[in-house]
Chains A and B, each alone.
Chain A
């Protein structure tokens, strides 16, 4: 076994070996990448690689191969480095060495004037763990991981605590100081939710710049050597790379202050900038990327799109199972959600549609396929929304609950902003990876004054919902970043934010103790059942979908017919929505083309929903 793991434990030896063989022909670089790609392809090889997400940094061997599941939060400037350099040691034997995948030169004096020096270019990404990743997603990938990591001395003993909510990651001592709440619903109870945003700025000596308040985990500076133009901000990646934690890297900052002021490299960076761009590697390790797998989704139960990267076999089996018995899984999920929504089966139907929605394309400015749902009529007093969020968190791989309290709206930084002093993009809550579920809790909003920040935040939320984009603030100009975020709004009345569809919650059950009832509903579900739901939701979202000419005709006819009866009831907007509903409904049944039947069902569903909204309106006349 040890030989097999050499490329994991000491990948630099492999790199140096290939470099030595190459006789300075430039294609050795490709060979290195190929070598590791091949190695990782071998059956389960990639699961042997320890993951930075789960294993604490100090258990990992420096300069070993690690993987990191992350989101690109910021992109720094490209840097030039010594791709090949020559050193003279004391015996004055000069040696040509390879500087790729390393931060610091090794051995002897570097001869800057050597003819062998090759200057190369690489790009640095600042990566953070996927924001709002659900506990279950972390656990599952961690369990797969832990079974097969003999290479570290780390004994994974903590996954026993798995679903307990108050799982504090005490393995990261540097964070324990900032004990602000985390994304889990627990933070509701601990303190006023807005507490996070304010403390995130001031407490920690080094702000790791996570998009969501209270996030934990390692941030990482990923050095990219090839095709960095292919990566985009907020991309989800699984990076395989060489870990570099040389403590010498952080020395730089201290030495700077002492050294001569005339050093021309001196003034290029402010203290803030240094802190951000060369943080101590014990906090922010460097990762030299060998290979990166873009993640279409971060559901560990599903195979990621690329065939070479398989999930571990048992979950794959469940995946095919679920697709086989899709109809029954859907029915079960529907029943479950109906229970959660206190017996409202229509709302449960729409919730399923919402959960599998996805921006699949954009036509000029118009995002297609988004389906923002507004669940109105949520009880205000009870912590119902909180429980609802817990349920959703159990189903989707990443999510975030944003309490729209006045304080939060006025104080939270939602839109990422460029900080020119530190030269970085200061993250905000709306910097989320694709397919994150954003749960906006409008029941928390009270009357009061919104200040300038509040108005900006509301506008940003509105833009996010309507156009699926966030305008990042670059001080001198704004830059538009398209996103793909599922927004669910819970409110008492109609939401003040726009939405694609509004469903008025109509509970048929009225449990005396809501909390007990909901936890009973949840306990009734077996964990394996949850996994099926998760696979179902992620799977249905990824299905392809077409519409035949024949159905197109039928839809046209139908539209004309409907307009004939009552032009007011059916506008272009309504047709837009109907088409999306029809699409999602078909997908939720595992059909990848629209059938006449599907269209009719979609229409019925919409009619039901609209009639309910109108009833609601007539019931409480003062509602807008």
Chain B
């Protein structure tokens, strides 16, 4: 099949001549095969309309019936399309605001047919410059020849990109049996700019022509295919995807693509397309097309000339499905301080019920405006038009997130210049420092913390080992900030929340497990169970900022375990059992349990969080007041400057934030670094080193989780450089940052050594050793007392304190007792200790 396409760039001669025939016979009703029926129909329903034409402007539709031209092919002699019913294109055929033209009258045909060549090559549809024949031919050529070797669209997956793309899609149609051909407008634009312009400006005329062309082509190639109805062409991505705000009166009746979020869908509305009338006297049947929601009821039966004898037969009339959808502009497109705009969209036929409220979609359709009447019996009209869009194509923008890839869509956001600018920035050697200092400039210093957060914003590379049964590896970096209250932790969280597109901000105090995960709600209207997603699911692919992490209830915190390692969320509630993706990075802030950070205690003791949760954080930073003079001076300077900086400087910073945003978005979507050989080696060494440090003192100072953290950090750092390879400098920085964080959070306050077990088991090795020592000492003490079955608790405590050199607290004493009880050596009942 492909050979035909490549050999024959033009449509078959026979077909071409037929196309020309059509045009010579005039009519923007460009159906050669259905000419007879069409002509008949035109006269049929144009006659009752004739008397109205002068008086009413609302009914001023053209009798041209711009609907699918091939819609009247019943019983056509053509071989290919025979038996395949056409389907009305309600999306094109509804309201038409064009001036009324009677195609049968002389002046109009003069105005529209510049018959210079006689043969009618220049014949165009009234009011446009579209020549049906040429247009059809061009489009067929486009279908047969266009290749898109660089296409990255998901829809084209599995197609041979070097072969004509749309011919393969036609083959696909014959296999799948779904008679819809989606055509990317940008493809048409690269192929033939003029055709593209026509499509955008006169979609109502051009798309039916496309339909015709594609059906001819299809049934020529695959004459035996059986389709439900004739193929419909659905163009998408007209122009650049536009913002709803940019729509203006010039776009009326043009093909547009806008993006937005569905906020409401109506119920299905059956819309009459064709009314069926039967004469009560002579049983003569006639059909009348519905025009702008009005039926021109025939007053006289054409067969028997009886007046008012025609009755509508409902069940023989043709209806199509229609649905009203409200679209709201996406929050990202909106200028600050304004409320979002909404637009009414009509979906027809099989596009009905394709979208649900909450979906983010790109729609392509025709923008319409219709005048509003104040009162049908008055001549006054409200001087306002009602606008809506007849949708031709939906494209969900967030659907792809389910598959974890969003390369297309988002990448389009950047112009070439922007990308060049970002790449230039990435090439600078100090880009890492630049970006980290651009992060939250109002917060002073804390360079390493900012760097850590920066890496978190970029994230690691997502790896999928599900096929080998090892599941997904987490790519998101989790960070915990702890420290004294009032060290601008919340401010940092707020900043991050404002920076990332899919960020969520919750406070541990106010959020429940339900608010974080998902809950099931019964819709009061439909009695339907609806799954409402919480902060963690909403921030999928983003960052979930949790303030006051320590104030969170244990119950709530427990849901985080799954999210922070498996990146999924399991729900079993009200009969709904599912697993949702929650590939979110967690940025949490915790305050110490005592109002001030106690440097004599370990991190765990200070914030009282379970170590199982802590070990899921890649980086744990302490934000403490450093208390040294030089720092104080710089801090004071920074703050004073913050308060009295000039307008321009502020402006500059805002620019930085925008650049930072774009930089991160670009890196996240287009850079996927992989470990280089050299980097892997460096990582292994780093890990081994980390383990060695501890083994010297008889403790474990690193676990595989730490290695994974290192890998993620290194990958994120490579992303910062826009590098597709993780190199040793990335590993170096990852190591440094990891060590910094450990130094702050996992230093054993008693020994001054970094001890990872503080974070992994909740207790430092020295503390554990000490606990054992106390227990042993206590045991000895008891044994030294000889055979006394029971002792006073307080006395024993005092004895032990008197005996021991180191200070023994009550906690330690209790712990020792508990340890001995575990050994079944003694039991503690109230204030007495009994030996067993």
Cβ of A120 < 8 Å from any Cβ of B?
yes
Contacts of B334 in A (CB 8 A): 479
| Binary contact readout A153-182 vs B (1 if CB under 8 angstroms, 0 otherwise) | 000000000000000000000000000000
Distance from A564 Cβ to chain B, minimum over Cβ atoms (Å): 7
Can you name 13 extra interface pairs (CB under 8 A) apart from A105-B383, A112-B371? A75-B338, A82-B371, A103-B384, A104-B374, A112-B60, A119-B385, A252-B382, A266-B293, A268-B388, A366-B442, A552-B637, A575-B639, A580-B643
Interface: B229 (CB within 8 A)? no
Q: A143 at interface (Cβ–Cβ under 8 A)?
A: no
Q: Is A109 an interface residue (CB 8 A)?
A: yes
The answer to whether B57 and A113 touch across the interface, beta carbons within 8 angstroms, is: yes
Please, what's the 1-or-0 string for B628-666, where 1 marks a CB less than 8 Å from any CB in chain A?
Answer: 010011011101111111000010010001000000000
Interface digits, B322-345 against A, CB 8 Å rule (1 contact, 0 not)? 001010000100111111111110
Please report the C-alpha to C-alpha distance between residue A99 and residue B60 in the assembled complex, in whole angstroms.
21
Q: Choose one: B266, B331, B441; the contact of A363 (CB below 8 Å).
A: B441
Q: Are B643 and A368 in contact (CB under 8 A)?
A: yes
Residue B369 CB within 8 A of the other chain: yes
> Which of A18-26, A256-264, A399-407 touches B?
A256-264
Are A260's CB and B341's CB within 8 A? no
B800: A residues at CB distance < 8 A: none
Give complex CA distance A397, B382 in Å.
39
Is B763 part of the contact surface with A, judged by Cβ < 8 Å? Answer: no
Do B344 and A262 have beta carbons less than 8 Å apart?
Answer: no
A255 pairs with B374, CB closer than 8 A:
yes
Shortest beta-carbon contacts, A-B, top 3: A232-B337, A262-B293, A559-B636
B-side contacts of A467, CB under 8 Å: 494
Closest to B595 in A: A624
Q: Of B290, B641, B644, which one neighbours A262 at CB under 8 angstroms?
A: B290
Stretch from A128-136, A528-536, A565-573, A615-623 contacting the other chain: A565-573
Spell out B's residues near A (CB within 8 Å).
57-58, 60, 94-95, 97, 99-100, 245, 248-249, 252, 261, 263-264, 266, 269, 271-272, 290, 292-295, 324, 326, 331, 334-344, 357-358, 369-372, 374-376, 378-388, 440-442, 444, 486-488, 490-491, 494-495, 498, 507, 510, 625, 627, 629, 632-633, 635-637, 639-645, 650, 653, 657
In contact, A368 and B331 (Cβ under 8 angstroms): no
Question: Which chain A residues border B383 with CB–CB below 8 Å?
Answer: 81-82, 85, 99, 102-105
Q: How far is the CB of A108 from chain B (nearest CB, A)?
A: 7
Query: Cβ of A477 < 8 Å from any Cβ of B?
Result: yes
By beta carbon, the residue of chain A nearest B264 is A420
Contact, CB under 8 Å: B640 / A119: no
Nearest CB of chain B from residue A274's CB, rounded to whole Å: 12
Do residues A459 and B374 form an inter-chain contact, with CB atoms below 8 A? no
Residue of A nearest to B369 (CB): A80
CA distance A503 to B157 in the complex (A): 67
Q: Do the beta carbons of A546 and B644 come within 8 Å of each other?
A: yes
CB pair A108 B379 closer than 8 Å: yes
Contact B639 A233 (CB under 8 A): no
Min CB gap A510→B, angstroms:
35
Can you list 21 pairs linking A and B with CB atoms under 8 Å apart? A81-B385, A112-B58, A113-B100, A119-B385, A229-B245, A233-B337, A252-B382, A255-B374, A263-B293, A265-B370, A265-B386, A366-B442, A366-B642, A420-B264, A423-B342, A474-B331, A479-B331, A556-B636, A563-B629, A572-B487, A575-B636
B385 near A264 (CB under 8 angstroms)? Answer: no
Q: Do most interface residues of chain A lie in helix, strand or loop, or is the interface mixed?
A: mixed
CB-CB < 8 A to B488: which residues of A? Answer: 572
Closest to B341 in A: A77
Which of B245, B374, B442, B490 has most A Cβ within 10 Å? B374
Q: In the complex, what residues of A have CB within 8 A of residue B263's CB?
A: 420, 475-476
Chain B, Cβ-Cβ closest to A89: B379
Given contacts A251-B374, A264-B293, A467-B494, contact A583 B643 (CB under 8 A): yes
**How long is the Cα–Cα vector from A421 to B266 in the complex, in angstroms?**
11
When distances are taken between beta carbons in the complex, the residues of chain A under 8 Å from B341 are 77-78
Could you tell me the distance in whole angstroms from the C-beta of B267 to the nearest C-beta in chain A? 9
Is A388 an interface position by the 8 A CB rule?
Answer: no
Q: When the two chains form their complex, are residues A260 and B625 in contact, meaning their CB atoms are under 8 A apart? A: no
**Central interface residue in B293, B380, B487, by most chain A CB within 10 Å:** B380
Which residue from chain B places its CB closest to the CB of A624 in the assembled complex?
A: B595
CA distance A418 to B334 in the complex (A): 16
Contact partners of A563 in chain B: CB under 8 A: 627, 629, 632
Using an 8 Å CB-CB cutoff, how does the interface string of A198-240 with B read, 1 for contact, 0 for none? 0000000000000000000000000000000101111000000
Q: Measured between C-beta atoms, what is the minimum distance from A239 to chain B in Å?
A: 17
Q: Are A119 and B252 in contact (CB under 8 A)?
A: yes
Partner of A105, one of B269, B381, B636, B645: B381
Contacts of B338 in A (CB 8 A): 75, 229, 231-233
- CB pair A259 B376 closer than 8 Å: yes
The chain B residue with its CB closest to the CB of A252 is B374
Are B342 and A104 within 8 A (Cβ)?
Answer: no
- The answer to whether B510 and A255 have CB atoms under 8 Å apart is no
A481 within 8 Å of B (CB atoms): yes
Taking the nearest CB of chain A, how far is it from the CB of B55, in angstroms?
9
Question: Is B640 touching A567 in the complex (CB atoms < 8 A)?
Answer: no
Task: Determine the distance from Cα of A545 to Cα of B645 in the docked complex, in whole angstroms.
Answer: 11
With an 8 Å Cβ cutoff, the count of chain A residues facing the other chain is: 87
B632 touches A560 (CB 8 A): yes
Q: Which of B339, B376, B627, B650 contacts A425 (CB 8 A)?
A: B339
Please tell me if A555 contacts chain B, counting CB pairs below 8 Å: yes
Asked if residues A368 and B642 are in contact (CB atoms below 8 Å), the reply is yes
Q: Which residues of B contact A475 (CB under 8 A)?
A: 263
Q: Which of A78, A264, A560 contacts B629 (CB 8 A)?
A: A560
User: In the complex, how many angstroms separate the beta carbon of B254 from the nearest chain A beta carbon?
Assistant: 13
Q: Which residues in A have their C-beta under 8 angstroms from that of B642?
A: 363, 366, 368
The B-contacting residues of A in range 266-320, CB under 8 angstroms, are 266-268
B491/A366 in contact, CB under 8 A = yes
Contact assessment for B374 and A572 in the assembled complex, using a CB-CB cutoff below 8 Å: no
* CB of A543 within 8 Å of the partner chain: no
The distance in angstroms between the C-alpha atoms of A480 and B272, with both chains bound, is 44
Name B331's closest neighbour in chain A (CB-CB).
A477
The distance in angstroms between the C-alpha atoms of A467 and B339, with both chains bound, is 20
- B525 smallest CB distance to A (angstroms): 10
Complex contact A364–B498 (CB within 8 A): yes
Q: Is the CB of B374 within 8 A of A79?
A: no
**Cross-chain contact B380 with A106 (CB below 8 angstroms):** yes
Q: CA–CA, A259 to B377, complex, Å?
A: 11
Give A265 to B79 CA distance when docked, in angstroms: 41
B residues less than 8 Å from A262 (CB atoms) = 271-272, 290, 293-295
A267 pairs with B337, CB closer than 8 A: no
Q: Which of A79, A259, A479, A546 contacts B384 (CB 8 A)?
A: A79
Task: Give the shortest distance, in Å, between A361 (CB) and chain B (any CB).
Answer: 7
Judged by a CB distance under 8 angstroms, whether A192 is at the interface is no
Q: A363-B650, A366-B442, A555-B636 are in contact. Are A572 and B643 (CB under 8 A)?
A: no
Contacts of B641 in A (CB 8 A): 552
A579 at the B interface (CB under 8 A): yes
Asked if A500 is an interface residue, CB under 8 A from chain B, the answer is no
Residues of A within 8 Å of B58, CB to CB, are 112
Indicate whether A113 sits within 8 Å of B60 (C-beta atoms), given known contacts A80-B384, A119-B249.
Answer: yes
Point out the residues of chain B lying under 8 angstroms from A455, CB to CB.
510
| Chain B, Cβ-Cβ closest to A74 | B339
Whether A579 pairs with B374 at a CB distance below 8 angstroms is no
Kindly state whether residue A121 has any CB partner on chain B within 8 Å: yes
Which residues of chain B are within 8 angstroms of A233 by Cβ–Cβ distance? 337-339
Query: Could you tell me if B339 and A560 are in contact, using CB atoms closer than 8 angstroms?
Result: no
A140 within 8 A of B: no
Bound CA span A458–B357, Å: 29
Please indicate the chain A residues that have their CB under 8 angstroms from the CB of B507 in the complex. Answer: 459
User: Contacts of B358 on A, CB cut-off 8 Å?
Assistant: 476
A571 touches B375 (CB 8 A): no
A54 at interface by CB-CB < 8 Å: no
Indicate whether A255 sits within 8 Å of B376 (C-beta atoms), given known contacts A264-B94, A267-B269, A476-B263.
yes
Instruction: List the B side residues contacting A144 at CB < 8 Å.
Output: none
A110 within 8 A of B: yes
